[in-house]
Amino acid sequence: MIEKLTYTGPTGTLAPGSAAPPSLSDGSSPFQNILTHEMNSSSSLEKMVLNFLIKTMESIMSTTNQIDPWSSISSIPFFGGASFQAQPLLNSPRFEPGFGVSAGQPNGREIDKIIQGAADQYGVDPSLIKAVIAAESSGNPRAVSPAGAQGLMQLMPKTAADLGVTDPFDPAQNIMAGTRYLSRLLDRYQGNQKLALAAYNWGMGNLEKNPSSLPQETRNYIVRVEKEYQAYRISSSTA
């Protein structure tokens, strides 16, 4: 679920003996613009922050009580072009009942084309886009979470508006906007998929302000998306 586009800055405790970075949320001018777009590996402070986030994520995920990696796999097809497709659990309490494409909506193959178009435009692996959709909405274009996130990639209303979406339940608008934001996150974290997924689900500001507090729901989300991603990649290679 995309929560917001705003940034509040990371904080946290480094390993003993490490130099602690200045607070990035203290409002002082050197820190107001840091990390606003992509973390610059040539900047020592930004590189240190990125490394801290990566190490924190690796530590958290190594001790996460991971879900059964294949518990979310189903033979129910949604995306076209392959006989085997990965799908999330369909009884998630986060979403309205229903699965698949409703009347008047594009069919699976048409959505597959939309995903490929978004992948080409924003440089994101189409299998990753499908995995995020599967984890976020079970492939239901009408999905609405209790928090108000909407559509296939679960855009919050304000974020959808910021991304130029006029109808979050329109698969094309939702997928293009969600992929655009996912691309931004991947660029920001220099391709680190776990950080990008954590920010997509929990919020970029939350992740960077206190990465050590990554909630269990987000940890499970990362595991699920990555397992779905691998399944989609296998599926696409054998289609």
Angle at 64 between CA 60 and CA 66, to 5 degrees: 145
For the beta carbon of residue 202, count every other beta carbon within 10 angstroms. 21
For 35-103, the DSSP string reads TSSS--TTSHHHHHHHHHHHHHHHHHHHT--PPPTTTTB-S---SSS-S--B---TT-TTS-S--SPPT
3-state secondary structure of 150: strand
Query: Cα–Cα distance between 11 and 210 in angstroms, integer?
Result: 6
Q: Is 226 a catalytic residue?
A: no
In the numeric block, which tokens belong to residue 115?
A: 């995903």
Amino acid identity of 146?
A: P
Report yes or no: 50 and 189 within 8 Å, Cβ to Cβ. yes
* Catalytic hit among 3, 136, 226, 228: 136
In the numeric block, which tokens belong to residue 70?
A: 């294949």
What residues are labeled active site? Answer: 136
